[in-house]
């Protein structure tokens, strides 16, 4: 049978923007060590965290944006657009690396605290910049908290052929992704990192979540619709989330750990984030099922001003992600050098999220002005050209 046309609509799904914006907030908060606000993030109540949300939505939106261009304008045009986005991401990564390095170096030397450089994994850059910088340009050297963006760059770099196959044989592409995930687990494949070790987030494993998101955007949502709406599936997803919650709580409550049998302990651990452990993947899937059931696409709350800040942050994810990395270290510095008390932890977190929302609103306002005056100038140029003729 001929392949089913991709079920990609024209109306923007605000759920993607909202949850990506929330994921950016969670990433920012999680990157501040010894922060009581961390207890309000996903990672403390289940196996997965905000990284899974970010990668899945990135795959979904990549297919949502570029699939129509590939179908209507061809492989070459869509590939050029994707590679242009890759270049933007790469420039952002290098720019962020320079700013991050300058920020850490200044704080470490001004306050005579070399622990900042060690915690942020920039000791090699301070010690041997002439050797470390070329590796950084090749994405082989990544300081702490800067692991997701290089993975996104790699995944988007190989996305043109992946998207082409996804449009023509989506099930085969998804199975190929599963096969690569299994092979990376079996043979311990990963990208090498300078000066030693491997990438903290393995692209060869995390590509499965990215490709799955793209598959859902192309036609997976329609196929999975009856399954997601099943009461049995919803019940199983809720039970798995409860199971994961109890396991995670046992890490902090010893009396709960006493009820965990040895065979279950051996079966569960280690729960590997680097290679996207099956338990983490299943937890994200269960969470997605519950969220899709509880939050419809046309949810009226998305029109509320209360949710607008998260939506705007999600719509400008690259800029807000880079800003969040900068702010997370600034927050870490404040809590370490000024005050680490709980009120300060809450204040730092709220101010950081407020700055992220303010910058997102400013970018949206600027884009609106550009569109308005750009359209007006195009009309004026057309009138002038018509008059000259």
- pLDDT at residue 286, rounded to an integer: 96
Report how far apart the first and last C-alpha atoms of the chain are (Å, whole number): 53
Low-confidence ranges of the chain (pLDDT < 70): 1-11, 374-389
- pLDDT at residue 27, rounded to an integer: 94
Angle (CA) 14-19-23 rounded to 5° is 150
Tell me if 273 sits within 8 A of 280, measured CB to CB.
Answer: yes
Q: How many CB atoms are closer than 10 A to CB 238?
A: 14
Three-class SS of residue 297?
Answer: coil
Helix (H) or strand (E) holding 145: none
Say how far apart CA 78 and CA 214 lie, in whole Å.
15
Residue 198 pairs in a beta bridge with: 192
Q: What distances in angstroms separate CA 25 from CA 30, 181, 247, 255, 352, one per listed residue?
A: 9, 28, 25, 32, 9
83 burial via Cβ count (<10 Å: 0-12, 13-18, 19+)? middle
Rg of the chain taking only CA atoms, in angstroms: 23
Residues with Cβ within 8 Å of residue 368, at least 6 apart in sequence: none
Q: What distances in angstroms separate CA 349 from CA 50, 53, 254, 306, 327, one per listed residue?
A: 16, 20, 29, 18, 9
The pLDDT tens digits for 18-73 are: 999 999 999 999 999 889 998 889 988 999 999 999 999 999 999 999 998 999 99
- pLDDT at residue 185, rounded to an integer: 95
- pLDDT at residue 389, rounded to an integer: 39
Tell me if 45 sits within 8 A of 286, measured CB to CB.
Answer: no
- pLDDT at residue 368, rounded to an integer: 87
Say how far apart CA 168 and CA 279 lie, in whole Å.
31
Phi and psi at 318, nearest 5°, equal -65, -50
Helices vs. strands in the chain: H and E counts, helices first: 18, 0
Pair of tokens at residue 224: 């999975």
């Amino acid at each position: 049978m001929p392949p089913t046309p991709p079920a990609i609509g024209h109306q923007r799904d605000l759920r993607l923007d909202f949850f990506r914006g929330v994921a950016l907030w969670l990433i920012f908060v999680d990157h501040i060590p010894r922060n009581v606000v961390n207890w309000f993030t996903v990672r403390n109540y289940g196996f997965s965290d905000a990284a899974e949300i970010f990668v899945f939505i990135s795959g979904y939106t990549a297919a949502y944006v570029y699939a129509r261009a590939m179908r209507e304008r061809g492989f070459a045009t869509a590939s050029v657009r994707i590679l242009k986005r890759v270049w933007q991401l790469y420039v952002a990564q290098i720019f962020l690396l320079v700013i991050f390095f300058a920020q850490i170096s200044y704080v470490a030397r001004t306050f005579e605290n070399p622990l900042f450089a060690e915690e942020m994994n920039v000791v090699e850059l301070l010690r041997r910049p002439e050797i470390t910088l070329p590796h950084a340009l090749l994405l082989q050297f990544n300081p702490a908290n800067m692991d997701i963006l290089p993975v996104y760059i790699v995944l988007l770099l190989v996305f043109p052929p992946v998207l082409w196959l996804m449009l023509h044989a989506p099930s085969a592409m998804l199975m190929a992704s599963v096969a690569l995930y299994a092979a990376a687990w079996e043979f311990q494949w990963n990208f090498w990192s300078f000066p030693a070790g491997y990438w903290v987030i393995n692209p060869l494993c995390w590509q499965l979540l990215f490709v799955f998101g793209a598959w859902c955007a192309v036609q997976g949502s329609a196929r999975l619709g009856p399954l997601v709406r099943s009461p049995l599936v919803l019940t199983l997803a809720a039970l798995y989330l409860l199971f994961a919650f109890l396991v995670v709580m046992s890490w902090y409550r010893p009396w709960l750990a006493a009820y965990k049998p040895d065979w279950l302990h051996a079966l569960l651990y280690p729960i590997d984030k680097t290679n996207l452990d099956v338990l983490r993947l299943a937890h994200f899937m269960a969470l997605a099922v519950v969220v899709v059931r509880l939050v419809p696409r046309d949810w009226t709350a998305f029109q509320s001003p209360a949710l607008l800040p998260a939506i705007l942050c999600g719509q400008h994810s690259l800029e807000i992600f880079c800003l969040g990395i900068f702010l997370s270290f600034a927050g870490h510095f404040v809590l370490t050098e000024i005050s680490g008390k709980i009120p300060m932890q809450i204040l730092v977190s709220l101010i950081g999220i407020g700055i992220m929302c303010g910058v997102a609103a400013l970018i949206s306002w600027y884009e609106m002005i550009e569109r308005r005056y750009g359209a007006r100038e195009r009309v004026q140029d057309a009138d002038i050209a018509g008059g000259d003729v």
